[in-house]
A and B are shown apart, each in its own frame.
Chain A
Amino acid sequence: MLMAPREAYGQALVELGRENKDVVVLDADVAKASMTILFKEAFPERFFDIGIAESDLIGTGAGFALAGKIPFINAYANFLLGNGWDQIRISVCYANQNVKIIGHNIGASSGKDGPTHLPLEDITLTRVFPGMTVIEPADGIEVKKAVKALAKHVGPAYMRVGRVPIPVITKEEDEFQIGKANVLRQGQDVTIVACGVMVSKALEAAQALAAEGIEAEVINMHTIKPLDKEAILASVSKTQRVVTAEEHTVIGGLGGAVAEFLACTRPVPMRMIGSPDRFGVCGTYEQIHQVLGLTTEKIIEAVKDLMSS
């Protein structure tokens, strides 16, 4: 089954709005794309369009938080982080405001809109902030749980939400806790740590590898910060090898976070699947994933490379 994370997000916001009157939603003229339009229709008095002004959007959100509201603020991830980074740094993180920043159209979501519209750097740009929580759910079901969890969590947070329908691989009954990774598949030969759509590809890769006698452990690292270090350590202590996979640059993202941790605690051979040091291209979602090497095959290759080295 496929589900677009943004649709799950829009629906979850409406449920949340019903449960919690303090939730307000701010958008930057992308309500139809971010699906916050569902919230706007349900609770027009608590929806605020700030227009195409991401810096102001972040600041206005911080003001709402200061006044005791729980603002969910929305824009395309590339513009949000590009234009609003300093505002997130000072008005949200340094000021420790309870703002939920939602980056939309992440990774290859915007497809043929091409490089300017393909955010491949937003995890890096947000995880550097002290006190910031960074989340990328693996599928639509997890998006809904993350929205609820974010509303309860007190403090600055960033969440990535994709536009394109992706496989649903988690179950309604699975536990979701910010900062606690979910081990989706047990294995003793290699650890694959993934987030977002790459979790489904990691599972596919694990299945294919199993047919060749390689048992991969797959960890859904939906929270990139704070990183679940215990889960990583427990797994690599067993497997001694790790591959990371993310729809994002390999510089400073999930792979970077895992590498920073392991390099200083338990260095093990490692490979990173993600966008190399380059911009995206115009193309379909799948074409861009091919060009950037964000594929099941690349994960399999990386695992085999590790196994043979």
Chain B
Amino acid sequence: MTASSKSNEKTKTDQARKKEALEEAKLIAQKMRRNILLMTHHAKGGHPGGCLSATDILAVLYKCFLRIDPQNPRWSGRDYFFLSKGHAVPAQYAVLIEMGFLSPEEIKDFREVEGRLPAYPSCTDTPGIDMASGSLGQGLSIANGTALAAKLDGTGQRAYVLLGDGELHEGQVWEAAMTAAHYKLNNVCAIVDYNKLQLDGALDEVKTLGDLRAKWEAFGWHTLEIDGHDYEQIYDALVEAERFKDGPTVIIAHTVKGKGVSFMEDEVGWHCAAPSDEELEIALKELS
């Protein structure tokens, strides 16, 4: 076998492996969407819209990229993931269920006094959650801290952070963006869930982000732009973020708020609202 045909073989296997992994990620995402709706319905509260926009990204990230161990959530060699837009935590609980960190029975505990699933991420309550959030803007700084520590020790660990688009109004995000670029943190990958809606309405009406790509580029970040519901694009962008060695990478993922449930898509009202019994029934039918 020649070198080039060997390489072709390898590419083929890689392609096949990727295809298989992405098929699995799609199945995970479908289960996640159902659980997100069940959680917010049962709790009569939560933020389904911004969970559903981030679901496909989380499914690919957890299934194909994060080195984590459900048997040992505090494994010191793990990759880090921080949900900076903490209100989307049902999406993270849903993916943690699929990865074996949590049990599906726990969805009834979302926002309840008892149990391990508070309304916003809590690293002292929930296995698989690495940091508290719920006050927007704080996740990227945390990711930088873990990434700097990993570089200091030469461990090769990576830190991922999911940011909301409205969250980018917070000044701390841009403080942290400067820090990551200054220290050339090529082990940091930020993903912006750019669904273009926030609590008070359309992001562009509340306060526009202007040229978001130019902003990140000006801050010294390797900037990628993708369709945040296209599995190939999500996968390829995350590979590119791993490959890029000169500094941090941001993936601006164009998404649809409420993605996957017809009556929730692009509706600002679903930023913060729980589905009724009837709405749940319709949504679950759509997702079966």
Give the B-binding residues of A (Cβ under 8 A).
Answer: 24, 45-46, 48, 50-51, 53, 55-56, 58-69, 71, 86-87, 89-91, 94-96
B53 interface hit (Cβ, 8 Å): no
B71 interface hit (Cβ, 8 Å): no
With contacts A53-B178, A55-B175 taken as known, whether A96 is within 8 angstroms of B124 at the C-beta atoms is: yes
B64 interface hit (Cβ, 8 Å): no
B45 interface hit (Cβ, 8 Å): no
8 Å CB contact of B133 from A58, A61, A64, A90:
A90
Nearest-neighbour CB distance to chain A for B44, whole angstroms, equals 24
Contact B134 A53 (CB under 8 A): no
Nearest-neighbour CB distance to chain B for A58, whole angstroms, equals 7
With contacts A50-B179, A64-B148 taken as known, whether A87 is within 8 angstroms of B172 at the C-beta atoms is: yes
B279 interface hit (Cβ, 8 Å): no
A50 and B177 CA atoms in complex are apart in Å by: 11
Nearest-neighbour CB distance to chain A for B182, whole angstroms, equals 8
Mark interface residues in B263-275 (1 if CB within 8 Å of A CB, else 0).
0000000000000
Stretch from B3-11, B23-31, B137-145, B218-226 at the A interface: B137-145
Contact B134 A59 (CB under 8 A): no
Nearest-neighbour CB distance to chain A for B217, whole angstroms, equals 20
Contact A67 B175 (CB under 8 A): no
Residue of B nearest to A61 (CB): B145
A48 and B176 CA atoms in complex are apart in Å by: 13
Contact A51 B146 (CB under 8 A): no
A50 and B181 CA atoms in complex are apart in Å by: 11
Interfacial chain A residues near B134, Cβ < 8 Å: 90
Contact A64 B149 (CB under 8 A): yes
Mark interface residues in B176-206 (1 if CB within 8 Å of A CB, else 0).
1011001100000000000000000000000
Contact B132 A63 (CB under 8 A): no
8 Å CB contact of A90 from B76, B132, B147, B152:
B132
Contact B152 A45 (CB under 8 A): yes
B135 interface hit (Cβ, 8 Å): yes
Interfacial chain A residues near B143, Cβ < 8 Å: 63
Q: Which of B234-266 contact A (CB under 8 A)?
A: none
Contact B172 A66 (CB under 8 A): no
Contact B138 A63 (CB under 8 A): no
Interfacial chain B residues near A68, Cβ < 8 Å: 76, 149
Contact A53 B145 (CB under 8 A): no
Contact A46 B152 (CB under 8 A): yes
With contacts A45-B152, A86-B135, A90-B135 taken as known, whether A95 is within 8 angstroms of B123 at the C-beta atoms is: yes
A24 and B146 CA atoms in complex are apart in Å by: 12
B150 interface hit (Cβ, 8 Å): yes
B92 interface hit (Cβ, 8 Å): no
Nearest-neighbour CB distance to chain B for A88, whole angstroms, equals 11
Contact B175 A56 (CB under 8 A): yes
A86 and B86 CA atoms in complex are apart in Å by: 15
B167 interface hit (Cβ, 8 Å): no
- The B interface, classified by DSSP as helix, strand, loop or mixed, is helix
Interfacial chain B residues near A67, Cβ < 8 Å: 80, 145-146, 149-150, 157
Could you write out 20 A-B pairs with CB less than 8 Å apart? A45-B152, A50-B175, A51-B182, A56-B144, A59-B172, A60-B144, A60-B145, A60-B179, A62-B141, A63-B144, A63-B148, A64-B145, A65-B145, A66-B80, A67-B80, A67-B150, A86-B135, A87-B135, A89-B135, A94-B124
Contact B146 A66 (CB under 8 A): yes
A46 and B142 CA atoms in complex are apart in Å by: 17
Interfacial chain A residues near B144, Cβ < 8 Å: 56, 59-60, 63
Interfacial chain B residues near A95, Cβ < 8 Å: 122-124, 131-132
A64 and B159 CA atoms in complex are apart in Å by: 12
With contacts A60-B145, A64-B145, A94-B132 taken as known, whether A24 is within 8 angstroms of B175 at the C-beta atoms is: no
B130 interface hit (Cβ, 8 Å): yes
B171 interface hit (Cβ, 8 Å): yes
A80 and B76 CA atoms in complex are apart in Å by: 30
Nearest-neighbour CB distance to chain A for B76, whole angstroms, equals 6
Residue of B nearest to A53 (CB): B175
A62 and B131 CA atoms in complex are apart in Å by: 9
Residue of B nearest to A92 (CB): B132
Interfacial chain A residues near B150, Cβ < 8 Å: 67
Interfacial chain A residues near B147, Cβ < 8 Å: 63
A50 and B265 CA atoms in complex are apart in Å by: 40
Contact A87 B138 (CB under 8 A): yes
Interfacial chain A residues near B133, Cβ < 8 Å: 90
8 Å CB contact of A56 from B124, B159, B179:
B179
Interfacial chain B residues near A50, Cβ < 8 Å: 175, 179
A89 and B138 CA atoms in complex are apart in Å by: 11
Interfacial chain A residues near B141, Cβ < 8 Å: 55-56, 58-60, 62-63, 87, 91
A60 and B179 CA atoms in complex are apart in Å by: 9
With contacts A55-B172, A95-B131, A95-B132 taken as known, whether A63 is within 8 angstroms of B178 at the C-beta atoms is: no
Mark interface residues in B75-86 (1 if CB within 8 Å of A CB, else 0).
010001000000
